[in-house]
């Protein structure tokens, strides 16, 4: 590889991978220092300079200017230094060219390996920089492949992993389809950057609401609580900081358009929007939506509540396989015992 070819190769790789030419040259220069010392058994302190335009490579031994050198490999006398340039003083560093005649061959052998390694490292750094601030947020990916239940999504120039435990039950993952996912973790390991995402995390629904509802984005409406059984039902408690804004209505939208948009994004999952209330009794009653509630009796010490519902509403309050009651308990943080009106009077 000629010097000009080396520069052209670095230019091409840098442009392809979006990495600065200066970064690649700096990395190659550092690697060539090691190659020089390894191939020429040198004890010199050396630097390597690569001309960014021509690709010409030069190696310089660095020597400190002293009065009387004790180690001629690392030191040079003041007289000898001034014979090269009268500006030198004690303590200065003099660069003396020691480029071997066949160093171009060594450089060519080193260049490809070093540049590719640096590209991998730079790509890893770029991915980390791009996605580190996306943790606990949502991104859009395209499904590229599915292996042993694991779904791999393309996120720009990198890949994210949707593990089976973070998938929504019953959701169909089709090749090349686009979907929004919640970024759980971005970490760097020996095999590169790992981006773990989720379709089942409650944070996905929270972020979808934040993006869909302007009042939430503006801080007028707050999400005070959220719990979810992915693929089936979510309960979300909202509160308005403005008495003129109905938090529940803002999230539902005209004709249910806003909540429907979020539901469509998560496969039609049912979403109960509840008004958060600092009064535990009222909050617990609301959390059992869509069931109506006759009364709530709370025990602060055990943080438990006895809820009475109409006989015709008992199964609705409990929900299929106890889901509605279970989600209400998770949302409020209270243990909830639901009874029918007739059984409570017996």
Cβ burial 139-155 (10 Å sphere, 16+ → b, else e): bebebeeeeeeebebeb
Q: Is the same domain home to 193 and 141? A: yes
273 Cβ contact list (under 8 Å, min separation 6): 236, 238, 248, 251, 252, 259
CA atoms within 13 A on the CB side of 219: 0
Show which of 252, 276, 300 is a domain's final residue: 276
Show which of 88, 104, 131 is a domain's final residue: 131
- What are the backbone dihedrals phi and psi of residue 249, each rounded to the nearest 5 degrees, phi first? -65, -40
Span of 150-164, 218-232, 322-336 with lowest mean pLDDT: 150-164
What is the total residue count of the chain?
Answer: 346
CATH number for position 291 = 3.30.300.20
272 closest CA partner among 213, 324, 339, 308: 324
The strand pair at 158-162 and 221-229 is best described as unpaired
Q: Is the same domain home to 120 and 167? A: no
Q: Is the same domain home to 118 and 36? A: yes
What does the pLDDT read at residue 287? 96
What does the pLDDT read at residue 115? 67
Q: What is the chain's mean pLDDT, rounded? A: 88
Q: Is the same domain home to 212 and 125? A: no
CATH number for position 55 = 3.30.1480.10
Q: Is the same domain home to 29 and 63? A: yes
Indicate if the alpha-carbon torsion angle 73, 74, 77, 81 is positive or negative.
Answer: positive
**pLDDT at residue 81 is higher than 80:** yes
Give how many domains the chain has, as a whole number: 4
Count Cβ atoms below 10 Å from residue 202 Cβ, excluding itself. 20
pTM of the predicted model as reported, rounded to 2 decimal places: 0.68
What does the pLDDT read at residue 117? 74
63 closest CA partner among 84, 52, 82, 77: 77
Q: Is the same domain home to 306 and 193? A: no
CATH number for position 149 = 2.40.50.140
**pLDDT at residue 199 is higher than 80:** yes
**pLDDT at residue 43 is higher than 80:** no
Please give the structure tokens belonging to residue 122.
């730079």
Average pLDDT (253-279) is 95
What does the pLDDT read at residue 241? 95
**Of 1-15, 118-132, 146-160, 283-297, which one has max mean pLDDT?**
283-297
Beta bridge partners of residue 233, listed in sequence order: 229, 270
Q: Is the same domain home to 225 and 245? A: yes
Q: Name the pLDDT band for 268 (thresholds 50, 70, 90).
A: very high
Structural domain boundaries, residue 286? 281-346
Q: Give the helix ranges, DSSP H, for the chain.
A: 3-17, 21-40, 78-84, 103-131, 202-212, 214-217, 247-252, 257-265, 280-287, 314-318, 323-332, 341-345
Q: Is the same domain home to 60 and 125? A: yes
Q: Is the same domain home to 249 and 185? A: no
Q: Is the same domain home to 242 and 296? A: no
Show which of 152, 168, 197 is a domain's final residue: 197
Q: Give the helix ranges, DSSP H, for 18-102.
A: 21-40, 78-84
**pLDDT at residue 125 is higher than 80:** no
Average pLDDT (303-331) is 95
Q: Is the same domain home to 122 and 16? A: yes
**pLDDT at residue 189 is higher than 90:** no
Q: Is the same domain home to 78 and 150? A: no
């Amino acid at each position: 590889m000629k010097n000009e070819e080396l520069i052209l190769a670095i230019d091409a790789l840098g442009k392809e991978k979006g990495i600065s030419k200066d970064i690649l040259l700096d990395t190659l220069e550092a690697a060539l220092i090691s190659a020089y010392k390894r191939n020429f058994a040198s004890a010199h302190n050396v630097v390597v300079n690569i001309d960014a335009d021509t690709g010409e490579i030069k190696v310089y031994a660095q020597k400190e200017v002293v009065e009387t050198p004790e180690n001629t490999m690392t030191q040079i006398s003041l007289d000898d230094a001034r014979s090269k340039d009268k500006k030198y003083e004690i303590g200065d560093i003099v660069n003396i060219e020691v480029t071997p005649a066949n160093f171009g061959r060594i450089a060519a052998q080193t260049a490809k390996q070093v540049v590719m390694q640096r590209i991998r490292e730079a790509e890893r750094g770029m991915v980390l920089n791009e996605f580190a601030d996306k943790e606990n947020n949502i991104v859009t990916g395209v499904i590229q492949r599915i292996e042993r239940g694991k779904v791999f999504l393309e996120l720009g120039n990198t890949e994210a992993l949707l593990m089976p435990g973070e998938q929504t039950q019953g959701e169909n993952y089709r090749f090349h389809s686009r979907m929004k996912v919640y970024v759980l973790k971005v970490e760097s390991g020996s095999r590169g950057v790992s981006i773990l995402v989720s379709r089942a995390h409650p944070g996905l629904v929270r972020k979808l609401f934040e993006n869909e509802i302007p009042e939430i984005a503006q801080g007028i409406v707050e999400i005070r609580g959220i719990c979810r059984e992915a693929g089936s039902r979510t309960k979300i408690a909202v509160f308005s900081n403005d008495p003129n804004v109905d938090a529940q209505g803002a999230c539902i939208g005209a004709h249910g358009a806003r909540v429907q948009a979020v539901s469509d994004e998560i496969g039609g999952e049912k979403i109960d929007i509840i008004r958060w209330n600092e009064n535990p009794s009222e909050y617990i009653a609301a959390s059992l939506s869509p069931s109506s509630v006759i009364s709530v009796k709370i025990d602060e010490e055990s943080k438990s509540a006895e809820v009475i519902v109409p006989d015709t509403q008992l199964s609705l309050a409990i929900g299929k396989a106890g889901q509605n009651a279970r989600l209400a308990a998770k949302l409020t943080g209270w243990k909830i015992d639901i009874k029918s009106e007739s059984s409570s009077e017996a």
